[in-house]
């Protein structure tokens, strides 16, 4: 079980938008209750990528052998994801159709 405080510490930005903190807590609550997959639907520009990165950072911090797969429909988002991670030992591969 991961505390909300631990989740919030993994947030890679200097501050939260008003709804991001509560969204992270709600997602964490779902995971802590046994739900294994969470789908977040939110408008463009709402910060879905950074919320996802938060949980990726958390997973990697808890288990350094973790593999995180991020599927992006726009390849240019890859650099945004890479720069949002808080670990230096990451590698990324870009594959397109």
* Full residue range of the structural domain in which residue 37 is found: 4-84
Instruction: Label residue 12 left, alpha or beta by phi (over 0 means left) and psi (-120 to 50 means alpha).
Output: alpha
The pTM (predicted TM-score) of the whole model is: 0.74
Q: Please give the Cα distance from 50 to 86 (Å, whole number).
A: 12
Q: Tell me if 91 is assigned to some domain.
A: no
Q: Tell me if 92 is assigned to some domain.
A: no
92 pLDDT exceeds 60? no
List, for residues 24-81, the tens digit of each pLDDT value: 999 999 999 999 888 888 888 888 888 988 988 888 788 766 666 666 667 777 777 6
Q: Tell me if 59 is assigned to some domain.
A: yes
The count of structural domains within the chain is: 1
Q: Tell me if 95 is assigned to some domain.
A: no
Between residues 3 and 88, the one the model is more confident about:
3
8 pLDDT exceeds 80? yes
Q: What is the pLDDT of residue 39?
A: 86
């Amino acid at each position: 079980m991961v505390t909300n405080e631990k989740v919030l510490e993994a947030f890679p930005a200097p501050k939260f938008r008003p709804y991001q903190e509560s969204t992270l807590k709600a997602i964490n609550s779902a995971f802590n209750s046994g739900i294994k997959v969470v789908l977040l639907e939110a408008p463009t520009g709402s910060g879905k990528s950074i919320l996802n990165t938060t949980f990726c950072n958390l997973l990697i911090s808890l288990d350094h052998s973790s593999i995180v797969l991020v599927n992006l429909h726009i390849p240019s988002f890859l650099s945004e994801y890479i720069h949002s991670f808080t670990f230096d030992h990451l590698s990324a591969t870009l594959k397109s159709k």
